[in-house]
Amino acid sequence: MNKQKIQDENIIVCDFPLVEHNLSVIRNENSSSEIFRNATKRLAYLLLYTAYSNLPMKEVDIKTPICETKSRIIDPEADIIIAPILRAGLAFADVAADILPDATIRHIGMYRDEKTLQPVWYYNKTPVELDNPQNTYVYVLDPMLATGNSSIETINLFLKKGMKEENLTFVNLIASPQGIKNIRDRFKKIRIVTAHIDETLNEKGYIVPGLGDAGDRLFNTFN
Ligand code: URA
């Protein structure tokens, strides 16, 4: 699949040097879980600053030690939800909350059935209704966008609550062309922020070249 064809203005690939460097660290099979976690954390900061670039701003009056001036802050009326998909999404959650401390964190528990590659729900901490759907901004966190099936399930969950499609951002480390296409075939305006678009998926649904199982590598659970 041609990468040019699957990219549009709402698919943002952060391919600057620090991102590429840390990606090489986490791809390397010789990196320990500790090294993997630290490099993932650095990547999370770089990706999340980019992901949050769509937040609405409001002008305020402030006084510096020198004089009064106008300045801008993130609109306090906006409802901001960080939604990590368990368990690998936890790698991004602390960083996401660290740089946006007033956001609400809504965990999503889903695992991938190894045979069907379809998501299976086991935990959903999203609200039944959004208080302010037109002014809600959601950041779904999942390091690997592989088939896109669990992403689509999560996106649908939030869109059914009435929020705007363009206010939902999916943040990941590595995306597959198939996963991006799967999302784009259904949702034209969802933002995707990623560090890299890889070549393909293998028969088990793993991204190639990828980095293996992100959850196992983060949490050191190889047996
Ligand atoms: N989940 C992972 O952890 N790795 C992949 O390559 C695909 C899905």
pLDDT tens digits, 192-214: 999 999 999 999 999 999 999 99
| Euclidean distance between CA atoms 39 and 147, whole angstroms | 24
pLDDT at 3: 59
CATH number, residue 106: 3.40.50.2020
Average per-residue pLDDT for the chain: 94
206 CA to centre of ligand 1 in angstroms: 5
Q: What is the best residue among 149, 213, 220, 222 to mutate for testing ligand 1's pocket, by most ligand atoms within 8 Å of CB?
A: 213
Q: What is the best residue among 211, 219, 220, 222 to mutate for testing ligand 1's pocket, by most ligand atoms within 8 Å of CB?
A: 211
| Euclidean distance between CA atoms 220 and 153, whole angstroms | 27
Domain hosting residue 55, numbered range = 3-219
Number of folded domains that form the chain: 1
**Residue 4 pLDDT > 70, yes or no?**
no
Summarize pLDDT for 26-44 with one digit per residue, the tens.
999 999 999 999 999 999 9
Task: Estimate to the nearest angstrom the gap between the alpha carbon of 99 and the chain centroid.
Answer: 14
Judge if the beta carbon of residue 174 lies within 6 A of ligand 1: no
Q: Is 38 helix (H, G, I), strand (E, B) or coil?
A: helix
Q: With CA atoms as reference, report the closest residue to 137 among 108, 98, 164.
A: 164
